[in-house]
Amino acid sequence: MAITYEYALTGAKGLSRVLYFEGLEFPIVITPTIHGKPLLTTQAYYYLEQLESVVRIRFENKETDNVPPHNSKKELERKFESIIDNYLFEFSKKYPALGITSKIVDFKYWHDGYTYQGYDENLTLSLTLDTMNDTSIIDVNNEEFINKDHWYNWNLIANYTDEYIEKYISSMSHVIRKEADVTVDDHEELGTGNYHLSLLKPGKGLLNYHQACMLEVIAKYQLTLESENIYVSRGTSSDYNFYLPVETFKVDKLYDSDLLSYYFAGVREQLPISKFRCFYNVLEYLFEAVPVDLGRTARTEREQIFCVVQWVTTEAELTNFISSCVADNYQGEIQKDLVSKSGVSITSLELNTGGAMSEVARWLYDIRCACMHSKKKYRGNASARLVPYSDDEDLVELAIPIIQKLSILCIEKDREFNS
């Protein structure tokens, strides 16, 4: 019997496509899904852009021996998380601005009870009895279902709701197609004339309930590295069947789990100051080892970060990367002083005079000090302080592309160094 594991993600809402990864111990699929087993909260329609995504790991009948050895469920989940993180690191290198991570903050899964199962993100409990197969159940009846043989669904309330949901979907599908003849005179948008107009204009990626439920059948056996799309179907011909685009990744490297945890903490964070701190942790991890490898003596943290920057990149590569950042007026903004909430400035990043690595190291260290320390004064003088949830977040946002790129390079270089 095949075994399937499913895990929630953070930052994967609106992915609107299937991701397929292979090359490590086992492949994984990331696919949109309806979270929380909707019952009372069932919708007639869902937009792909509003759906979260999950990781799906499946071992077919002949592959069940390939499940990683483990002594507990927690140990197995840690092994899965490690493989997922290594796959997602490759995704993050390609899409650094997309914050998809296995470090979840909003738990969507739970352990079901036996007699009552959780629905609607476990806010609704529904009586579940296998009346067709469980010989210990002598009878189940009420005014509509006279004995246990009449309950076709083991989620007993579904014997009612399936019919109601089907009527709801059918009614809403007719509503979507409704139109009207409109006559206007000097309307501020339509002008003057007669129009035949749709009452609704649905956007792209609209799925009805049955189509959204079919997302659960997407599995790795349907995919290869050459896949460009996947036909979503329950194996029968239906007007509900549809295609989803597929993006594939071949991954053959494993990275340090601690560094990936620091990195994905930064990916997960929404506030730039918090992101900066997490990505800085990746660089800081190497502050002692790198100067030794370079044959240098680094007496201060400023010198240590300079060594790390030298270790992972070159002047030309660093300058080219910064020049390639395409945010609005990015080059101009980083070459301005960053005036913090305390009124004290962090000197601008000056790249026109050469020495890009030392200048970036200095700039990042100054930002680091202003993010980490909250002293109103230092040695009697006002100090630069970058305050969370203030306009200072916009200043630190300027540093995120650079420090995230350096953290990626550190993780890759660390693997080479320790191989």
3-class SS letters over the chain: CCEEEEEECECCCCCCCEEEEECCCCCEEEEEECCCCCCCCCCCEEEHHHCEEEEEEEECHHHHHHCCCCCCHHHHHHHHHHHHHHHHHHHHHHCCCCCCECCCCCCCCCCCCCCEEEECCCCEEEEECCCCCCCCCCCCCCCCCCCHHHCCCCECCHHHHHHHHHHHHHHHHHHHCCEEEEEEEEECCCEEEEEEEECCCCCCCEEEHHHHHHHHHCCHHHCCCCCCEEEECCCCCCCCCEEEEEEEEECCCCCCHHHHHHHHHHHHCCCHHHHHHHHHHHHHCCCCHHHHHHCCCCCCHHHHHHHHHHHHCCHHHHHHHHHHCCCCCHHHHHCCCEECCCCCEECCCCCCCCCHHHHHHHHHHHHHHHHHCCCCEECCEECCCCCCCCCHHHHHHCCHHHHHHHHHHHHHHHHHHHC
The whole-number pLDDT of residue 375 equals 73
The whole-number pLDDT of residue 391 equals 92
> Are 390 and 288 in the same domain?
yes
pLDDT, one tens digit per residue, over 252-289 is: 999 999 999 999 999 999 999 999 999 999 999 999 99
Domain range enclosing 274: 257-418
> Are 333 and 401 in the same domain?
yes
> Are 220 and 287 in the same domain?
no
The whole-number pLDDT of residue 74 equals 87
The whole-number pLDDT of residue 63 equals 66
> Are 242 and 271 in the same domain?
no
Across the 419 residues of the chain, what is the mean pLDDT of every consecutive 10-residue run?
A: 85 94 95 91 95 91 76 89 95 94 68 83 92 92 91 93 94 94 96 96 94 92 94 92 96 96 94 96 95 92 95 93 80 86 85 84 93 74 83 93 96 92
Which of 191, 219, 250 is the endpoint of a domain? 250
Number of structural domains in the chain:
2
> Are 228 and 354 in the same domain?
no
Which of 212, 232, 250 is the endpoint of a domain? 250
Residue 126 lies in a domain: no
> Are 368 and 324 in the same domain?
yes
pLDDT, one tens digit per residue, over 254-263 is: 999 999 999 9
The whole-number pLDDT of residue 64 equals 67
Residue 210 lies in a domain: yes
Residue 285 lies in a domain: yes
Residue 166 lies in a domain: no
The whole-number pLDDT of residue 60 equals 79
> Are 267 and 367 in the same domain?
yes
> Are 297 and 345 in the same domain?
yes
Residue 143 lies in a domain: no
> Are 413 and 288 in the same domain?
yes
> Are 334 and 371 in the same domain?
yes
Residue 124 lies in a domain: no
Which of 193, 228, 250 is the endpoint of a domain? 250
> Are 411 and 288 in the same domain?
yes
Residue 196 lies in a domain: no
> Are 228 and 343 in the same domain?
no
Residue 158 lies in a domain: no
